[in-house]
Amino acid sequence: MAAIDGLPPLRDVIRDHDLVARKQLGQNFLLDLNLTAKIARAAGNLSETDVLEIGPGPGGLTRGLLAEGARKVLAIEKDPRCIPALEEIAAHYPDRLQIIEGDALEVDVTAHLTPPYRIAANLPYNVGTELLVRWLTPAQWPPQWSTLTLMFQREVAERIVAQPGDRHYGRLAILSQWRATTQIVMSLPPEAFSPAPKVHSAVVRLTALPQPRFPADPGVLSRVVAAGFNQRRKMLRASLKGVAPDIEAKLEAAGIPPTERAERVSIESFCRLARIVAGDTP
Ligand code: SAM
């Protein structure tokens, strides 16, 4: 493993700090610093921005982000055992790494970062999707972040980039692609991690669009899409019955055959339907 920063190899860090991986914290560590530097590069030019990292663990990706020139990294880690290892990295990069011990679902990062910031993480599987949905549904758009560069289980990554008609197309694809561009930028086999998970992983990059691709009220769109995919095998005239009165006529006004299934409907059509349901001009 080539050194990227003069700090000890990650295997030594894990041994010295006794960081035996804990399944309940979704701990599958990346040990190859060349790989973590590659993920950091996929996050874009870091020199002018702050970076939020969730779940730094022993710090492989953190070191990649700092070596790639991140102005400042704010790292939130729930496992107290990892903090001393992260403090060694902070000492090596004075004033550039801030560590918060806590649950990423509860920490308010706004006071610590200058927007627009980037978010990069090898996410713990148990909270990954919930965090993504939160980042995609802020009170205001554009959001405080400019890009998300996130490692997920391969199947979750495929749900983010899926197109109408794809097996994985659903709420996550619509939520992601309505207001961001999405791309799988890297695929990783289980052996890239220690311990190796059962499934393949992939890094997805999402770049926030300045405004949504098509106008629609976020709440109404979310309601329509949730109902449509809740019973994805049903025709929309049945699955959307509870969403608004005269749903067949509204589907037709939106140019969607009432016999169509949600999995074949484009984001543009869902937005048109959401505008009609909200009583706006289509
Ligand atoms: N970034 C490291 C790497 O790439 O090797 C570790 C990634 S590991 C998949 C996920 C990390 O997230 C673990 O260090 C785990 O302790 C941490 N974690 C789990 N749940 C968390 C939460 N709710 N908030 C913050 N960190 C969490």
For helices 33-42 and 60-67, the axis angle rounded to 10 degrees is: 60
Whichever domain contains 165, its CATH number is 3.40.50.150
- d(CA 61, CA 92) in angstroms, rounded, equals 15
Is the domain of 244 the same as that of 191? no
Contact 51, 119 (CB under 8 A): yes
Is the domain of 261 the same as that of 173? no
Residue 162 domain-assigned (yes or no)? yes
- d(CA 14, CA 88) in angstroms, rounded, equals 13
pLDDT of residue 127: 94
Query: Please, what is the average pLDDT of the chain?
Result: 96
Is the domain of 48 the same as that of 135? yes
User: pLDDT tens-digit profile of 175-212?
Assistant: 999 999 999 999 999 999 999 999 999 999 999 999 99
Query: In the structure, which protein residues have their CB atom closer than 6 angstroms to any atom of ligand 1?
Result: 25-30, 54-57, 60-61, 76-79, 82, 103-105, 122, 124, 127
Residue from 30, 122, 186 to probe ligand 1 pocket by mutation (most atoms less than 8 Å from CB): 122
Residue 116 domain-assigned (yes or no)? yes
Residue nearest to atom 10 of ligand 1 (CA): 124
Return the structure tokens found at 204: 């997805």
Residue 52 has pLDDT above 70, yes or no: yes
Note down the domain range covering 252. 218-277
Contact 211, 151 (CB under 8 A): no
User: pLDDT tens-digit profile of 251-271?
Assistant: 999 999 999 999 999 999 999
Residue 2 domain-assigned (yes or no)? no
Q: According to the 3-state scheme, what is the secondary structure of 45-88?
A: CCCCCEEEEECCCCCHHHHHHHHCCCCEEEEEECCHHHHHHHHH
Is the domain of 54 the same as that of 91? yes
Among the candidates 186, 208, 230, a domain finishes at: 208
Instruction: Count up the domains in the chain and report the number.
Output: 2
Q: How confident is the model at residue 232 (pLDDT cuts 50, 70, 90)?
A: confident
Q: How confident is the model at residue 4 (pLDDT cuts 50, 70, 90)?
A: confident
Report the percentage of the chain scoring pLDDT > 90. 95
User: pLDDT tens-digit profile of 104-135?
Assistant: 999 999 999 999 999 999 998 889 999 999 99
Is the domain of 198 the same as that of 253? no
pLDDT of residue 152: 97
Mean pLDDT, residues 87-99 taken together:
98
- d(CA 39, CA 178) in angstroms, rounded, equals 25
Is the domain of 169 the same as that of 259? no
Residue 180 domain-assigned (yes or no)? yes
Residue 1 has pLDDT above 70, yes or no: no
- d(CA 104, CA 127) in angstroms, rounded, equals 9
Mean pLDDT, residues 25-44 taken together:
96
pLDDT of residue 281: 62
Residue nearest to atom 6 of ligand 1 (CA): 57
pLDDT of residue 257: 98
Ligand 1 atom nearest 79 alpha carbon:
16
Return the structure tokens found at 187: 């695929």
